[in-house]
Amino acid sequence: MVRGIPVGNTPGILDGATADMAFALLLAAGRRLVEGDRYARGPDFLRYDPSHMLGREIHGATLGIFGLGRIGTQVARRARAFDMTVLYHNRQRRPDVEKTLGVKYVTRDELLASADYVALNRSAHGRDAPSDRSRSIREDEADQHPDQCGAWPVVDTDALTEALRKRTIYAAGLDVTDPEPLPRDHPLLRLDNVIIAPHLGSATDQTRQRMAEMSIDNLRAGLAGKPLPFRVAPPNVAS
């Protein structure tokens, strides 16, 4: 049956804010920023010790990006500013981005073997959901990742928790969890080498304002019987 219900969204407007968040998580995880903040506020920080709480450098490192879409491209732009070598794996090559940003397409295995940091820029639902696990991280691959940031449902939860616990992964930064929020007794919450944000990827005043404006434009067009200016699918979708 044809329902004739148009579906709107807010494409493109949150790419920069979400990439900012991904890179913030990468920086914080690599330099142990949250752990350092807790230590600096606590009772044990009585003197400066130059050998304490050493982190990993970001500048000059190799970043592997799974999913070089709009957000992944924005992450690559930020990485280039830190003189990082940027590798990526995607269902389809992006020669335009390779030319403009100097990123290099590699196989999945090459990316996992070569990257110092791995960024998973992948939606967990809708049109962007992976159909072939090409951008998911399996248990047998978890030990290869020095650092990670990304959306939770494309990562094996138990494998990541165990790898962080064993320190085979140096650190991880997550903006989305599954379930969200995690149960308060979840073992991941007890680890110092993971940073978990409460789904803040698009949470800026400017981005949320523009998302609201685009949503209003869609609603007004829909109520007036006009095509949606920001549409996910054609208005006539067979069910």
> Residue range 198-215: average pLDDT?
97
Name the residue with higher pLDDT: 126 or 118: 118
3-state SS, 98-139, equals HHHHCCEECCHHHHHHHCCEEEECCCCCHHHCCCCCCCCECH
**All domains in the chain, ordered by first residue:** 14-196 (3.40.50.720)
Mean pLDDT of the chain: 87
* pLDDT at residue 149, rounded to an integer: 59
For the segment 167-202, what is each residue's pLDDT rounded down to a tens digit?
999 999 999 888 889 999 999 999 999 999 999 999
* pLDDT at residue 147, rounded to an integer: 61
- pTM beyond cutoff 0.75: yes
Q: Percent of the chain at pLDDT above 70?
A: 82
Residues 147, 26 contacting (CB under 8 angstroms): yes
For the segment 38-52, what is each residue's pLDDT rounded down to a tens digit?
999 999 999 999 999
